[in-house]
Structures are given as structure tokens and as C-alpha cells.
Amino acid sequence: MGLRDRPSDACRSGMVEVNGVRVFAGRLGPEEQTALVEDLCAVVARAPMFAPVTRFGKRMSVAMTSAGKYGWYSDTRGYRYEPRHPSGVPWPPIPERLLALWHEVTGLERQPDSCLINLYRKGARMGLHQDRDEADFRWPVLSVSLGDDALFRVGTTARGGPTRSVWLRSGDVAVIGGPARLAYHGIDRIRFGSSRLLPFGGRLNITLRVVD
């Protein structure tokens, strides 16, 4: 039985690479997680969650919003970044805690342009995809997990390549960069009720990206 069939919990201590994606287990402690959730609730108050459709017209199972210069958006016209929330208001600034985490983990001085916030409720998933709507793939994508455990699957840069899976838990941070920057990845399922961090349940995934 391969790693695709038997998800690993090896990242429970330190850092592990999953097909080139670096996962830092427990990078954020309980107090940091709680403070970050408060920051994100302030973002959502200004830019409410919405459920976009794919370019094929299918409603996504996750709800989302964004912060920063740009927000990621999807409709039948395709996937892209937009400077405003669907309501027409500008996206709120990226929380300072997240900017500090970006600099600490990536070692980069360049600020991210976009902070995408995805909410996974019971039954939500995200199919294998590449993050390729950005202008320059030399910049990494930083991903933060908060709330319920998620089964994270990572493939190669080729569609249909071999995949590996690992459970991400609240406070874990992943870096999708370098040779793995265009690796296919997705969330197969959520272990609903595995965390008490979020008062409304489910999982928040935050990804910081350089867009321009």
C-alpha cells in the first residue's frame, strides 16, 4: 500500500516534504491560532464569504474571501484575480500577523499581494489543481491550516502523476515553491469536528501569494 492510500502523519514533528511541498507541523501555537482567527473574522466582516462557480458553471463546495491588493475570483469567465470584492468594496488589508509569518517562513522581503481565505464545511473538498494564475512562479505560495484536520494530496507538476497524502492539522504551515511551485494539489476530505478552534466549525485555509 503506497502513501497515496495510507496518508502519513509523519509531519507531526518538525518539517516534512510531500512531493516537494514543505509542511511545517504545528508552526502556529494555540494562542497564535486564536489571534489569527480573530484577525480573519475582521476581514470577513468587511469582505463577506461567497461561494464562486468554476469556469464550467459548477458551484464550488468551499466559501471564500480575500485580503490584500487582489482577491482570487472564479466565474464562467475563468479564474483570475480581481481588485475588489464581488460587492464592489476593496479587499481589506492582509493582517499583520500573516505578513510576519510570510516573512519568517519564506525569508522573503517581498510582500504578498493576495491572501485567499477558504472555508471548508462538512463535505467540502478541493480537487487537484495548480496555482498558476500568478505572473511569476518563482514566488512561493504559503498555506496556513486552521481548524479541522484536512487530507492534503500533492502530486507532481504533470497531470495524472503519482500523489502523496498527509493530514494537515490546525497550526500547520505549508510552502508550495521551488520545483514544486506548480505541483498539483488538493484537499480530499475534512475530518469534521476534529478541532474546536473555530466557533462555527470546519476548516480555514489561508494562502498568501505574490500576484504581480
Q: Confidence class of residue 56 from pLDDT cuts 50, 70 and 90? A: confident
Of residues 185, 155, 179, 168, the one with CA closest to residue 2: 155
Q: What is the mean pLDDT of residues 186-193?
A: 96
Could you read off the pLDDT of 43-55 as tens digits, one per residue?
999 999 999 998 8
Specify whether the CB–CB gap between 64 and 211 falls below 8 A: no
User: Lowest-confidence range among 5-9, 84-88, 160-164, 167-171?
Assistant: 5-9
pTM of the model: 0.91
**180 has a pLDDT exceeding 70:** yes
Alpha-carbon distance of 190 to 13, in angstroms, equals 21
Half-sphere CA count of 42, side-chain side, radius 13 A: 11
**37 has a pLDDT exceeding 60:** yes
| pLDDT given for residue 205 in this prediction | 98
| pLDDT given for residue 136 in this prediction | 97
Q: Confidence class of residue 100 from pLDDT cuts 50, 70 and 90? A: very high
CATH, domain 10-209, list 3.40.50.620, 2.60.120.590, 2.60.40.1220, 1.10.3210.10: 2.60.120.590
- Angle, CA of 13, 118 and 134, to the nearest 5°: 90
| pLDDT given for residue 13 in this prediction | 57
C-alpha cell at 105: 517562513
